[in-house]
């Protein structure tokens, strides 16, 4: 078992504004409050690891170089805020709609836990002490399958997927409020956070 605690993060719809098959740096935009939220997690001693399904690569919509350019841009922008991400893992595969070597049944595409498990090996992470945060049911299921505590945010596709999450999984309006809950003294959420969590989505 690893020694470090981590926050695993979906990318699109959790960190940045959802853009279907994001492939251009100019379309990358942080969801409000995200850089500050990430800095708080780092300051609290968590490793930050992005785990993102990127079947757009396998489908031929963009290549791995375009993905790395977006991640380089993300890292540079976060540095302005004094925040950083420790590692990014991505799955370019799809079992039905990809081409070439990307057309395969893999263990890394969420909801399977392969990316989280690989990061745990690479970075000495204790999955049981870690969280997985995302805006889709697949993110929640990947966290459960890896042995992490799953959290859903209602940004991106979260408002549509929240009705499907398993009982007991917590959901918050955005990453900033999810971080408030994670870092709350004694693990107790404020009454305001609990009310926001249970309020119905605006859309």
- Residues taking part in catalysis: 10, 12
Q: Residue 43: CB partners within 8 Å, gap ≥ 6?
A: none
Half-sphere exposure of 191 (CA within 13 A, CB side): 0
- Going 150 to 154 to 156 to 159, the CA torsion angle's sign is positive
* Torsions phi, psi for 134 (to 5 deg): -160, 180
141: its two tokens: 């299921």
What gap in Å lies between CA 192 and CA 190, rounded to an integer?
5
- Going 141 to 32 to 83 to 37, the CA torsion angle's sign is negative
Q: Which of 99, 116, 117, 105 is nearest to 9 (CA)?
A: 116
**Cβ of 52: how many Cβ atoms within 10 Å?**
21
Identify whether 25 is preceded by a cis peptide bond (ω within 30 of 0): no
């Amino acid at each position: 078992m690893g020694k470090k605690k981590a926050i695993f993060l979906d990318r699109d719809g959790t960190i940045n504004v959802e853009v279907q098959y994001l492939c251009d740096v100019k379309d990358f935009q942080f969801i409000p409050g995200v850089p500050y939220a990430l800095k708080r997690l780092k300051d609290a001693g968590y490793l930050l690891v992005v785990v993102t399904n990127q079947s757009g690569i396998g489908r031929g919509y963009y290549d791995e170089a375009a993905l790395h350019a977006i991640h380089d841009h993300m890292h540079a922008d976060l540095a302005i805020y004094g925040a950083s991400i420790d590692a990014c893992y991505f799955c370019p595969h799809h079992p039905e709609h990809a081409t070439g070597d990307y057309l395969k049944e893999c263990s890394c595409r969420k909801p399977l836990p392969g990316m989280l498990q690989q990061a745990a090996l690479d970075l000495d992470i204790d999955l049981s002490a870690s969280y997985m945060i995302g805006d889709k049911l697949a993110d929640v299921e990947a966290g459960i399958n890896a042995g992490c505590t799953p959290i859903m945010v209602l940004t991106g596709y979260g408002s549509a997927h929240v009705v499907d999450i398993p009982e007991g999984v917590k959901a918050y309006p955005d990453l900033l409020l999810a971080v408030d809950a994670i870092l709350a003294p004694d693990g107790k959420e404020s009454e305001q956070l609990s009310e926001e969590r249970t309020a119905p989505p605006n859309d």
